[in-house]
Structure 1
Amino acid sequence: MTVATTSFLLFAASQVGTPGPANMVLLGTGARYGFRAALPFVAGVILGKQLIIWPVGFGLMQLADRVPLLFEVLKYASAAYIIWLAWKIANLRLSRGQGDVAVPGFWSGLIVHPLNPKAWAMIIAGFTGFVAAGTSTFQATLTIALCLLVCQVILHPIWTFAGDRIAHAVEGRPMEKYLMWTLASVTVASVLFVLFGGGAQT
């Protein structure tokens, strides 16, 4: 008994690579601060998903079955955090020369996925849909953790770099504020989709 590794890897790549709260935050961070300055934040976002995978793999969802109200509250609190990040993105402008603006670092990135309802949905889907009955807990968790880590290491920096490139194209132009509001709107829409539509993108 084992994990359907190839199938899950394809699933993970499709989810990690498509728009969602984390990717919109990465895009906005790259746009505002530049690719290189955002790299510690990106590293935090990548490793933050591991803070979900291992507890889920070792039985956290059994607690959800026993205390469903707790996880319902956490789900909406997490959504509120992502929407707050979207509001910050909406009100940012791309003036890279402002040296007094602190760049979000590793620790800020580390909490993005634990507070991202889509990350939880995707990880739970991985354990319930791609792990065969009888697979050891450690093997299943390690496989899912490594698959997601590989996808994130490749795809999260791409989103951040895309934000950097977009910023160079629109910085200081009238369309700048519309870009930031668009990023924020897509972020909020992605959160609402997972809350009410059952999505599982990252």
Structure 2
Amino acid sequence: MFEAIFPLFLFALVSTSTPGMATTLSTASGAQFGFRRSVPLMAGSAAGLATVAAAGAAGLAGLLAAAPSLQLAMKVAGSLYLIWLAWKIGRSGPPNLDVAMSKPNSFFGGVGLQWMNPKGWAMGLGAAASFAALANGPLQLAFLLGTVFGLAAALSLSAWCVAGTLLARLLRTERQWRVLNAVLGLLLAASIIPMWQPA
């Protein structure tokens, strides 16, 4: 059984490790607040991706494809939320001097991020199409994809968060912090661009 699931896990791990909205936010949160205080964000993001993958496998993605207005509303809401987060991150300073980013993003913020993330839906749909033979029906496939993508996201986001905490140890001045946060804010804002490109 492990031999059959391993390619799916590898696909999920590689997909969730590539730079994007959630990875950039996890890195910024790790740098700003440390690993422990970033756990709710990462747990929410992993849970959000798990539910997106499961919903995609169960057929919700077909509804989104059939309702372009709902898809557009999700894109607009997701873009506005990410621009707001990018602004907060980009304008923040060192952790002890920061006012704009006074607390890390929440569990539900992480979940919402994934539900508005076209990359997450694309990963779930791609996995559902590629690995449907591993399950006996849509519900079993939804459970399998939700579990695998949730675990893979937890691992990859933890790695990005640790990278952020390690990076924070190298920063000594307020100017260095401001440059790092500006770069992370710009990267988060840039991660919105693929959301609006035609598939």
Stretches of 4+ moved more than 3 A in 1? 96-100, 132-135
1:180 is aligned to: 181
Amino acid at match of 1:156: L
The alpha-carbon deviation at position 181 of structure 1 amounts to 1.5
2:110 is aligned to: 109
2:82 is aligned to: 82
Kindly indicate whether the alpha-carbon contact (under 8 Å) linking 1:79 and 1:117 is maintained by their aligned counterparts in 2. Answer: no
Identity, % of aligned positions: 26
Amino acid at match of 1:137: P
Kindly indicate whether the alpha-carbon contact (under 8 Å) linking 1:90 and 1:183 is maintained by their aligned counterparts in 2. Answer: yes
Equivalent residues, number: 195
1:130 is aligned to: 131
How many Å separate the matches in 2 of 1:64 and 1:103?
31
How many Å separate the matches in 1 of 2:184 and 2:198?
20
* 3-state SS of paired residue (2:11): helix
Q: TM-score, normalised by structure 1?
A: 0.84
How many Å separate the matches in 1 of 2:85 and 2:69?
25
Cα deviation per residue 1:114-133 (whole Å; 9 max; x = unaligned)? 12222122112211233249
The alpha-carbon deviation at position 38 of structure 1 amounts to 1.4
The alpha-carbon deviation at position 56 of structure 1 amounts to 2.2
1:69 is aligned to: 69
* Corresponding position: 1:57 with 2:65: no
Amino acid at match of 1:105: S
Amino acid at match of 2:120: A
2:191 is aligned to: 190
How many Å separate the matches in 1 of 2:119 and 2:87?
18
2:40 is aligned to: 40
Equivalent positions of 1:141-156 (< 5 A) are 141-156=142-157
The alpha-carbon deviation at position 106 of structure 1 amounts to 2.3
How many Å separate the matches in 2 of 1:145 and 1:30?
25
- Structure 1 residue runs of 5 or longer lacking an equivalent are none
The alpha-carbon deviation at position 18 of structure 1 amounts to 1.6
The alpha-carbon deviation at position 90 of structure 1 amounts to 0.6
Kindly indicate whether the alpha-carbon contact (under 8 Å) linking 2:93 and 2:174 is maintained by their aligned counterparts in 1. Answer: no
How many Å separate the matches in 2 of 1:134 and 1:145?
13
How many Å separate the matches in 1 of 2:127 and 2:83?
25
How many Å separate the matches in 2 of 1:114 and 1:43?
14
Q: TM-score, normalised by structure 2?
A: 0.85
Kindly indicate whether the alpha-carbon contact (under 8 Å) linking 1:95 and 1:172 is maintained by their aligned counterparts in 2. Answer: no
How many Å separate the matches in 2 of 1:197 and 1:71?
13
How many Å separate the matches in 2 of 1:51 and 1:159?
21
How many Å separate the matches in 2 of 1:129 and 1:61?
15
Kindly indicate whether the alpha-carbon contact (under 8 Å) linking 1:94 and 1:167 is maintained by their aligned counterparts in 2. Answer: no
2:95 is aligned to: 95
How many Å separate the matches in 2 of 1:119 and 1:86?
19
Kindly indicate whether the alpha-carbon contact (under 8 Å) linking 1:78 and 1:116 is maintained by their aligned counterparts in 2. Answer: yes
The alpha-carbon deviation at position 8 of structure 1 amounts to 2.4
1:9 is aligned to: 9
How many Å separate the matches in 2 of 1:197 and 1:65?
13
Which sits farther off after the overlay, 121-130 or 18-27? 121-130
Which sits farther off after the overlay, 176-185 or 105-114? 105-114
Amino acid at match of 1:48: G
